């Protein structure tokens, strides 16, 4: 069952638990279990292909470079899983809804791009990247969203295990495709701020 509930167009985080019957009330545990099962399955398939000395089947309509074998590192699996789990419309805060979310592992950081819309009760977006609230209020709303995204990131990249610190995370926010601002190194700056 979905842990979100939509009432009059507003997404909330209320619900009846992660799985029917309340067997798995902790979403984090469920994600780790599902992720672990996916990794075991994929690892087993890759191991079978290597152990049996068989080449992974290619696609004859693609070039050799696109048919080249590639075994992703664990961090790449986490990047893909984060994107797969979070790239849909869902409750982010009482003021914002996440519409898209994509993770990118870059050479020096983890970059997260999040597109948003406002909740109906906080209808302050005027279009073309403009808002009817002060920069201070807008910054506060997106800082709250940043804190939620950081908690989500830590499910996939726990600081102690991964070595990824907040200094190496960048979260770029947009609304309906227009840039709003970027959180980097512990500071959120609105678009156009120095």
Q: What is the pLDDT of residues 111-155, one digit of tens each?
A: 999 999 999 999 999 998 899 999 999 999 999 999 999 999 999
Per-residue confidence (pLDDT) for residue 21, from 0 to 100: 37
Strand-pairing partners, residue 31, are: none
Rounded Cα gap, residues 137 and 146, in angstroms: 14
Q: What percent of the chain has pLDDT over 70?
A: 71
List C-alpha distances in Å: 188 to 36, 81, 118, 165, 183: 33, 25, 18, 16, 4
Here the tokens at position 38 are 């996916």
Q: What is the pLDDT of residues 14-39, one digit of tens each?
A: 443 333 333 334 555 555 656 666 65
Per-residue confidence (pLDDT) for residue 87, from 0 to 100: 94
49-65 per-residue burial string, b: 16 or more CB within 10 A, e: under 16:
eeeeeeeeeeeeeeeee
Per-residue confidence (pLDDT) for residue 192, from 0 to 100: 86
Q: What is the pLDDT of residues 56-74, one digit of tens each?
A: 578 889 998 888 888 889 9
pTM of the model as a whole? 0.69
- Identify the residue with better confidence: 7 or 157: 157
Per-residue confidence (pLDDT) for residue 161, from 0 to 100: 87
With a CB cutoff of 8 Å and minimum separation 6, the contacts of 70 are none
Per-residue confidence (pLDDT) for residue 193, from 0 to 100: 84
List C-alpha distances in Å: 3 to 25, 33, 107, 119: 10, 18, 35, 17
Per-residue confidence (pLDDT) for residue 128, from 0 to 100: 87
Domain positions in the chain are 1-71, 87-194
């Amino acid at each position: 069952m979905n842990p979100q509930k939509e009432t009059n167009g507003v997404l909330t985080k209320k619900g009846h638990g992660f799985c029917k019957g309340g067997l798995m009330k902790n979403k984090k545990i469920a994600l780790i279990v599902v992720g672990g099962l996916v990794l075991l399955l994929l690892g087993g398939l890759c191991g079978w292909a290597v152990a049996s000395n068989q080449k992974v089947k290619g696609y004859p309509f693609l070039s050799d470079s696109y048919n080249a074998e590639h075994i992703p590192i664990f961090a790449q699996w986490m990047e893909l899983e984060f994107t797969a789990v979070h790239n849909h419309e869902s409750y982010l805060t009482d003021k914002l809804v996440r519409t898209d979310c994509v993770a990118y592992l870059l050479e020096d950081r983890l970059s997260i791009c999040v597109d948003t819309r406002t909740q109906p009760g906080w209808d302050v977006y005027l279009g073309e990247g403009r808002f009817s609230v002060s920069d201070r209020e807008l910054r506060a709303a997106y800082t709250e969203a940043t804190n939620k995204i950081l908690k989500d990131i830590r499910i996939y990249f726990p600081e102690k295990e991964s070595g990824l610190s907040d200094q190496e995370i960048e979260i770029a926010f947009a609304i309906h495709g227009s840039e709003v601002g970027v959180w980097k190194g512990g500071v959120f700056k609105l678009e156009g701020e120095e």
